[in-house]
Amino acid sequence: MPSKRRLAKPALVLVAFAVLALAISACAVFKEGSLKLSQPGGIGSVRVHFELCTAPEGEPDICGPNEDSGQGQYVLAISVPKGAVPPATITAAPVAGGAPIVYARNDQVAQTFSEMVAADGGQWPPAGHDGIGYLSAVFTEEEGETREWIVDADFGLPAGADGGPYAGPFGIAIGTGWRQVNEAQPADRPVKCWVPDISEPPEEDEAICVFNEEGKVVETGTSDLKIAAPAQGSAYVGGKATLAFPMAFASTATTLPIFNLAAVSTLPGAKVELPSPIFTPGTPDPTTRRSPDASGQVVVTVPKSAKPGLYDVTLTATTAGGGTVSQVAKLRVTKPKIRLGKVKLNKAKGTAILFVKVPAAGTLTVSGKNVARAKRKAKAAKTLKVPIKPKGKAKSLLSEDGKAKVKAKVTFKPASGAAVTKSKSITLKKNLAG
């Protein structure tokens, strides 16, 4: 969606000097109309595309033989939304032979473009933008050769105003230029744009800098998905855990992407399932550009052979265009711990009550060779009172001797997870009639 916004009026005056600039350089010039923005992955980085070509002197609208020879450097200035992530280098790839033009980040280039516009009473970069500068490696001009180059550079989206997804649109304005390199003008000298003045032509050490597309800010709608990490999950060995990843989506794009979800875990042997493997964002609010919040659920089944520990669970959302976003959650795997407490004897009946503290919902069972089987259920962590009743030989001993030692086997089976067992020796006592 091209924007009608432009740079401050004085910057337009700079465009009027483009013909003069071409007459001086006539090397690789920006092809007007070639600037295009897109978001190939449906989310993620914005691709900035434009083209360069050699042009005859005085004819900036056509590609033709280069009329220069010698060495030079190219400059590139791009304004992007604040917080966007620029690439460290940009390469102009040759279309049909010849050398590439390789640009590297250079903050001074952005500064000199800003100073050039300020000298004419304007402002660059535009409000809400950062100015990003690049300077090429030394490039050898080939007189008489017609060359073309294509630039495709990816810029990462900034974060949203609240740290959430960036709604867009993403806009840029672009400036290009050239300067000589020779023994008297080395490649490592400071970059300085010539401030156009009809009465004063540029000095040999100055760069010819112009804004392209008449300084217009060109925009494209974008989409962005943020997946947050849920709170640390927990599961018992042999149990299950459901992790809900908060998902926030924002967009100004014409078509919203659909996401395929996938999940993996570092827990060996774990079964990882997605109740819904497709995420379709809701219609964005026209004011905030945000879709209703959603979550991606991941169900992890812990094998009975798992070792207790902390494991990663990763959720990844992928678009048809290959855009991906991932988030990692933590899952703590443990074995349930039961605590066998005090024993309260009932000497009148020859029985006892065993106090057992359980860590979660589940079923507690007491059994043993000479212990009557008994069950108690818990809906949450609590202390259960379990009856210890003798049977068989222990019951006979109580009747004869007034005491009997039994070994109670205490098993706790959590609502989700493998059972654990502990044992406790208890001496039952019974008052005998005198």
Q: What is the pLDDT of residue 419?
A: 95
Point out the least confidently predicted range of 19-28, 93-102, 104-113, 341-350.
19-28
CATH number of 225-334: 2.60.40.10
Q: pLDDT digits over 229-255, tens only?
A: 999 999 999 999 999 999 999 999 999
Q: pLDDT digits over 119-156, tens only?
A: 888 889 988 999 999 999 999 888 788 889 999 999 99
Query: Which residue in this structure is represented by tokens 């949203």?
Result: 160
Nearest partner of 345 among 428, 255, 231, 254, judged by Cα:
428
224-245: buried (b, 16+ CB within 10 Å) or exposed (e) per residue? bbbbeebeebebbbbbebebbb
Residue 21 has pLDDT above 80, yes or no: no
Name the token pair of 426.
Answer: 């208890």
Q: What is the pLDDT of residue 122?
A: 86
How long a stretch of residues is the chain?
434
> CATH: 2.60.120, 2.60.40, 1.10.150, 1.10.287. Which one for 339-429?
2.60.40
Tell me phi and psi for residue 314, to 5 degrees. -110, 130
What is the Rg, in whole angstroms, of the alpha carbon atoms belonging to the chain? 37
Q: What is the pLDDT of residue 198?
A: 53
Residue 11 has pLDDT above 60, yes or no: no
Mean pLDDT within 401-428: 95
Q: Is 2 helix (H, G, I), strand (E, B) or coil?
A: coil
Q: pLDDT digits over 280-330, tens only?
A: 999 999 999 999 999 999 999 999 999 999 999 999 999 999 999 999 999
Residue 408 has pLDDT above 70, yes or no: yes
Residue 354 has pLDDT above 90, yes or no: yes
Q: What is the pLDDT of residue 13?
A: 39
Q: pLDDT digits over 357-393, tens only?
A: 999 999 999 999 999 999 999 999 999 999 999 999 9
Average pLDDT score over the chain: 90
Q: What is the pLDDT of residue 174?
A: 94
Mean pLDDT within 43-59: 87
Residue 417 has pLDDT above 80, yes or no: yes
Per CATH, 225-334 and 339-429 having the same topology is answered yes
Domain ranges for the chain: 9-220, 225-334, 339-429
Mean pLDDT within 339-356: 96
Separation of CA 20 from chain center: 46
**pTM exceeds 0.75:** yes
Residue 23 has pLDDT above 80, yes or no: no
In DSSP terms, 322 is beta-bridged to none
Helices (H) and strands (E) in the chain, counts: 4, 28
Q: What is the pLDDT of residue 197?
A: 65
The DSSP call for residue 35 is -
What is the identity of the amino acid at 203? E
